[in-house]
Amino acid sequence: MTVLDRPAVSAPGPSAPRRGAGLLLQWWRRLTAMRTAIILLFLLALAAVPGSLLPQRSLSQNNVTQYFADNPTLAPILDRLYLFDVFSSPWFAAVYLLLFVSLIGCVLPRALEHARALRAAPPRAPRHLLRLPDSGELRSTLPPAEALDVVEEELRVRRFRVVRRSADTAGASGGEVSAEKGYLKETGNLLFHLSLVALLLGLAGGKLWGYEGSILVTEGQGFCNSFQQYDTYSAGPLVDSGDLSPVCVDLEDFRAEYEEDLTASSFTADIRYGGPGEEGRATTIGVNDPLRIDGDRIYVTGHGFSPTFAVTLPDGREYTDLSVPFLPSDQTTLASQGALKLPDVGTGSDDQLALEGFFAPTGVVQGGILTSIDPRPLDPQVAIVLYEGYLGLDSGIPQSVYSLDATQIDRGSLERVGAANLEVGESVELPDGTSVAFTGFREFAALQFSHDPGQLWVLGSAVSLLVGLLGMLLVRRERVFARVGAPSGDGGTVLTVASLMRGSGESAPRFAALSDELGTVLAARADSARSRTSASEVPPRES
């Protein structure tokens, strides 16, 4: 008879849905591993480095524009990589979200496991205690039960959680004691990571519902909390203009003090704040002393000068107290540059007046060029260049309020009609009879209005994170086991003692100290027992 071999039939493999589920579970375990969370945290810190090295649009559009002008080849490449918008870029958000998911998936199961461990009794002693790294034997003349009583009492004094098991339950000849302490180490570990999650939530909430705006306010002027009034502002995607706090601020006085080397020592601003239409409350703020009101903060971030001018037209009309902030171009001497645009002084759109100026708080003319040698206004002077023509303010093209549009000058729409260096009280007369006088100056403060609803959440998370870190680093997790062994030849009790420790520090010295303490207490208890026995055996004396 001929037997034909059957072809081998392989076992059916897992179905496609099961393979997909297994792959997803594998990736989820990798994502929620603590090693992955640490790597993502490092990547988040690394991703934030460009945000501190390169100018960011959310902080200063002017600095970004200047970077493009200084680096015309490199800047567009960096812009395509979102390096001028690091903290709102897709890749930064991806790292942020992955870290958030990884921490939650890693910490929450551990927190549940830790909660179960807190309610569970210390584990049984290992079968071979003498195989543990820190172990030894103690001999005592006490009975096994009394010897274990001594060990249990001493461990409770040392704040161990102690469980005593009988010989039948423990499977030992005379019973055993299991003790454990140091649960705060794991509690601190979990608190640290949960606080990190809360910190990320607080930062995300501040970015989503927070906003800030910056504005230059001259003495005697003010502003209300509105995006339309700020020079620059940034707001979270969930912020609407109607969500802004109804606060108005007036700058009454500004003072700057300097050291002998002309470095600024303090900036203080006297302000009055309140709701729209209210009289307001007076207070003083500084650089490191902001005004805090219901989650809002108002900072002083800088200062400068606003020169004042007076214009007299040929027909006798006068415009006085014309002022605009001049932006400092030199932070050491506060030499400043700015522009004043006067579209309403002429009779038509083609005879408007404007001036570009250089303000020196302490001016010195060297070779016909005005410069400043001191940030204090000891001898204020201004160098101005005057233009007449069409300013283009109604063309619909946005312009800076701090400088003239160079294209208007290049096209000839603005024609230079005069220039002069002026001290306070001096004036210059234009060919058409218009007189421009430098009448003085006022100081301005750079104010920043910030609203961050997550700041208290972030503060609390940072404090709890520090507490968790201290607990994680300083607390030791320790287990101690004691078992009654076979009786010694002299009828005494042999105790096998061992410990396991996890945490900072050497374990051997701590175990040696514990063993010595237990031996001393056992010996003292045995001596006390012998003394009581001897006293009970002494016959009473006859009277």
| Cα–Cα distance list, 153 to 5, 80, 172, 488 (Å) | 75, 70, 20, 23
Confidence band (pLDDT; 50, 70, 90) for 543? very low
- Does residue 14 register a pLDDT over 90? no
Q: Flag the least confident range among 32-46, 213-227, 340-354, 429-443.
A: 340-354
For residues 9 and 191, the model is more confident at 191
- Does residue 205 register a pLDDT over 90? no
Residue among 395, 403, 400, 430 nearest 415 (CA): 430
The pLDDT score that the predictor gives to residue 346 is 63
pLDDT tens profile 243-291? 898 999 999 999 998 888 888 888 899 999 998 878 889 999 988 889 9
**Cβ proximity of 483 and 176 under 8 Å:** yes
The pLDDT score that the predictor gives to residue 505 is 62
Chain Cα centroid distance, residue 289: 19
Within a 10 A sphere around the Cβ of 255, how many other Cβ atoms?
14
- Does residue 1 register a pLDDT over 50? no
pLDDT tens profile 317-338? 899 989 999 999 888 899 999 9
Specify the pTM: 0.68
Pairwise CA distance, residues 303 & 311, whole Å? 26
215: Cβ–Cβ under 8 A, 6 or more apart, which residues?
223, 229, 230, 231, 446, 447, 449
Pairwise CA distance, residues 32 & 14, whole Å? 25
Which stretch of DSSP H or E encloses residue 466?
helix 455-474
Residue among 434, 410, 416, 414 nearest 322 (CA): 434
Pairwise CA distance, residues 337 & 327, whole Å? 5
Within a 10 A sphere around the Cβ of 442, how many other Cβ atoms?
18
Pairwise CA distance, residues 77 & 89, whole Å? 15
**Cβ proximity of 370 and 384 under 8 Å:** no
Q: What's the whole-number average pLDDT of the chain?
A: 85
Pairwise CA distance, residues 144 & 175, whole Å? 8
**Is 208 strand, coil or helix?**
helix
- Does residue 397 register a pLDDT over 90? no
**Is 175 strand, coil or helix?**
coil
Pairwise CA distance, residues 36 & 103, whole Å? 9
Confidence band (pLDDT; 50, 70, 90) for 57? confident
Specify the CATH architecture of the domain 125-182+477-531.
2-Layer Sandwich (3.30)
Pairwise CA distance, residues 253 & 38, whole Å? 50
Q: Would you list the domain boundaries of the chain?
A: 27-118, 125-182+477-531, 211-451
In 17-173 the beta strands, taken as DSSP E runs, fall at 134-140, 161-165
Pairwise CA distance, residues 215 & 375, whole Å? 21
Confidence band (pLDDT; 50, 70, 90) for 474? confident
